[in-house]
Structure 1
Amino acid sequence: MFETDLRLTDGRALHVYDSAPCDNGRLAVVTLGVPTYELFEAGEWLGLRWISCDLPSATAADLTAVADATGLGAFTLMGHAEGGALALRTAALLGDRVEAVVTFGSTLPADFVLVAIQTPVLLCHGLADRISPPSNSRWLAARLALGTLDLHPALDHLSILTRAEPALEWIRDHTG
């Protein structure tokens, strides 16, 4: 895993991780609050390139800078909790550059953001989530043009991340 600090235009530094720098032949998955260390094996057989950054205070503009600095054209986004809302805001901002989005127990972004998202979105949520209510993902699914709701009765805010590997297969099936 390659690590670097990306200097942003406002002077802040964002710590960035890249599993396959300069390998543009792999589909890039930018993760936000989703631990990838358990997904490396699945990522390898699916031919994925993992890119992530430290989440606190990251913005959609910061993720645009990460995508540009790592040479990404099109890519996918996976986010957990606030990382899910950030993934949705980034998809709205970058349009066609984002091929698909997966969220896990997402918080809610502003309603107007959702209108701009014209890419497939998988909304995974545990019905036992006491931190981010499942109604968040139901609300999002009702407002996204290409939203798919994936609810799991026995999973909570953290255990929903066990659905990350199946979500990778969904990404593979919904991207070019």
Structure 2
Amino acid sequence: MKRFNIRILSFFLTISFFLTCSFSILAQEKRNDTKNYDFTKNWKFGGGLGLGFGSGYTDIMIAPSAIYQFTPYVSAGIGLQGSYIKSKDRGYYYNAIKEYDSWIYGGSLIVLSNPIPQLQLSAELEQLRVNNSYTYKDLTKRDDNFWNTALFLGIGYVNGPVTIGIRYNVLYREKDMVYGSGFMPFVRMYF
């Protein structure tokens, strides 16, 4: 499994490096006219919202982000994320848990590369603080608080301001209990 992760990471990093270098060289050919340069026109804002409700289950997530478009091919930015999950009597750990609460918050750095207008490659480094609280059927309580780091490498199809794709967390470990899988689909919007 570790060998597979290293191969994927090496592939994406190599492709991203060559694309970034080649687009930087292309960007050098443009004339630098600082007199008419508008710094604000290259910023894009977006993010995600998530809501999930069910019988004894609530999941609310908000994740705003901003990127700066350096060239038509490369952009980078930052993001924030906050989420709250509450679950009651859902059968975790063989029905031992009566209630589960989780607050997750943190930030991320993101780099996007568009080698062609319809294709987007991404790398996102995410650092989250996870605060889990468990109440067991015998009414004992336990808190589990930790930091989780994720490095997502992704590929997506771009249509206007929307990108739909899949990303893989190369640092994924099942025992972290933050994400259910290393692979995650995504929808990304920037305006």
TM-score range, shorter chain: under 0.3
User: In proportion to residue count, which structure has more helix?
Assistant: 1
Q: Greater relative contact order: 1 or 2 (C-alpha under 8 angstroms, separation 6 or more)?
A: 1
Normalised to the residue count of structure 1, the TM-score between the two structures is 0.25
Query: Over alpha carbons, which structure has the higher Rg?
Result: 2
User: In proportion to residue count, which structure has more strand?
Assistant: 2
Normalised to the residue count of structure 2, the TM-score between the two structures is 0.24
